[in-house]
Amino acid sequence: MEQNLIVYVVSDSAGETGEFVVRAAAAQFHPIHADIRRAPFIQDVSALERVIQRAKLTGGIILFTLVIPELREALIQLGRTQGVECIDLLGPLVESLERQTGKSARQEPGLNHVLDADYFRKVDAVEFAVKYDDARDTTGVLKADIVLVGVSRTSKTPLSMYLAHKKYKVANVPLVPELKPPKELFEIRKDKIIGLTIGVPYLNIIRKERLKALGLPDSAAYAATTRIEQELAYAESIMKQLDCTIIDVSFRAVEETASLIMERIRLQN
């Protein structure tokens, strides 16, 4: 039987360097297959928490190329507390270069990418995703290339950021039973809307871990199975009204879900 090794490549840039290194190392262990799952453009600790949880659930390890010290330290600490092996690819080398040169690293992700027109389109898309994240301004729904809808913790924000780096302008809207969905959702083409759903047990685990990370009891209503079932049923009813594409994000890495979304958008355009 072929043995699989799951490796999550975590980066505050595209993650190409980390993936290349994993593939080179894994080639030394043929016929073991390396299932490489990128988690690119990480910007905050909550995103790291999600990756750690996925790695823990799947028995994977993490290789990371984070140049921002705070994110590096946070991931190392999360790995220790959750029992997930985390391998720092750039940290020791950067520190060694700092000692040798007597200069401090710039600590800016993605400096190996050329600043060109394509780059600035990405910047525009990232700024759009930040501005219209979590329905802060629902007018973004009318301007977006893609609109993501779903309950809390279905990866709407990391997906928005990932797709932004692919030059898509993305708005995302949380679906909460107590809140009426914005009217703008019903004014745009259905092929621009992607509904995100997730399995109850998986979401239960994710929300409990999130509560723990916030120092709150995991028995809170937010993570209760009955509450999750209610939210998912409500979200499904709204998605049916919108007649939109629905993707199950359970056990899917962000880049995998993003690939499905981009393929769907390409087919419809």
Residue 168 token pair = 């898509």
Q: 74 and 130: one domain? A: no
Q: Note the pLDDT of residue 112.
A: 56
What are the residues whose beta carbons fall under 8 Å from the beta carbon of 37, sequence distance 6 or more? 6, 7, 8, 9, 54, 60, 253, 255, 256
Query: What is the side-by-side strand order in the sheet with 33-39?
Result: 33-39, 4-11, 61-65, 86-88
Which CATH number covers residue 10? Answer: 3.40.50.2300
Q: Which residues span the domain enclosing 17? A: 4-101
Instruction: Consult the annotation and say whether 150 binds a ligand.
Output: yes
Whether 106 is covered by a domain: the verdict is no
Whether 112 is covered by a domain: the verdict is no
Q: 47 and 162: one domain? A: no
Instruction: Consult the annotation and say whether 156 binds a ligand.
Output: yes
Q: Note the pLDDT of residue 110.
A: 58
Looking at this protein, which amino acid is placed at residue 86?
A: C
Which CATH number covers residue 235? Answer: 3.40.50
User: Domain end: 42, 68, 101, which one?
Assistant: 101
Instruction: Consult the annotation and say whether 151 binds a ligand.
Output: yes
Domain count across the chain: 2
Among 236, 239, 206, which residue's Cα sits nearest to residue 223? 206
Q: 123 and 79: one domain? A: no
Q: Chain centroid to CA 114: how far?
A: 24
DSSP type of residue 43: -
Q: Note the pLDDT of residue 130.
A: 92
Whether 108 is covered by a domain: the verdict is no
Instruction: Consult the annotation and say whether 266 binds a ligand.
Output: no
The per-residue pLDDT string of the chain (269 residues; one tens digit each, 9 = 90 and over) reads: 456 789 999 998 878 888 888 888 888 887 788 899 999 889 899 999 999 999 999 999 999 998 888 899 999 999 999 999 999 998 888 788 888 888 877 766 655 554 556 777 888 999 999 999 999 899 999 999 999 999 999 999 999 999 999 999 999 999 999 999 999 999 999 999 999 999 999 999 999 998 988 889 988 999 999 999 999 999 999 999 999 999 999 989 899 999 999 999 888 76
Please tell me the number of Cα atoms within 13 Å of 100 on its side-chain side: 6
Instruction: Consult the annotation and say whether 136 binds a ligand.
Output: no
Instruction: Consult the annotation and say whether 157 binds a ligand.
Output: yes
Instruction: Consult the annotation and say whether 153 binds a ligand.
Output: yes
What are the residues whose beta carbons fall under 8 Å from the beta carbon of 160, sequence distance 6 or more? 129, 133, 148, 170, 171, 172
Question: Would the pTM count as exceeding 0.75?
Answer: no
Say if CB 188 and CB 141 are below 8 A apart: yes
Looking at this protein, which amino acid is placed at residue 81?
A: T
Q: 72 and 191: one domain? A: no
Q: Chain centroid to CA 158: how far?
A: 3
Residue 229 token pair = 């079932």
Strand pairing class (86-88; 61-65): parallel
Q: Where are the beta strands (DSSP E) in 40-181?
A: 61-65, 86-88, 146-150, 170-174
Instruction: Consult the annotation and say whether 155 binds a ligand.
Output: yes
Q: 242 and 128: one domain? A: yes
